[in-house]
Structure formats: structure tokens, C-alpha cells
Amino acid sequence: MQAAIKTKYGLTAVLKEGHSGIFEVSIDDDVVYTNETTYRFPTDEEIFEKIDDAKKK
């Protein structure tokens, strides 16, 4: 996913270690995806949609 974000947007995603196996994606400290509710890893397209939405704000 990090490579896909870099390729599409030229952004470098940063991994922050979490706890309890929770995977979250944050943009400017706002959580835009968490597997705490979906119980699965997101697709690249799901994250691209979240990035695009954040850029519109």
C-alpha cells in the first residue's frame, strides 16, 4: 500500500506501530479507515478514495 500511495500521489506513507492488531489509516491526524470495525485490511482503491476526499477539504 505504501508503494501504491507513493506511485499515485507522490506521498510517502509512514508506519506508526499500534497495538492489538488494529490497522488504521490517518490523514493529517484524522482516522479515515480502521479495521476495528471492518475486521479486514483495506484495498488500495478504498484508501485512494479516502485520500481524494481529504484533498477536497
Give the domain ranges of the chain: 2-56
Query: Residue 52: what pLDDT?
Result: 93
Asked if residue 1 lies in contact with residue 7, where contact means CB atoms within 8 angstroms, the answer is no
Query: Residue 29: what pLDDT?
Result: 86
Query: Residue 43: what pLDDT?
Result: 95
Mean pLDDT of successive 10-residue stretches along the chain, which has 57 residues: 92 82 86 88 93 87
Query: Residue 14: what pLDDT?
Result: 85
Which residues lie closer than 8 Å to 50 by C-beta, 6 or more apart?
Answer: 25, 27, 32, 33
Asked if residue 46 lies in contact with residue 33, where contact means CB atoms within 8 angstroms, the answer is yes
Model-wide pTM > 0.85: no
Query: Residue 4: what pLDDT?
Result: 94
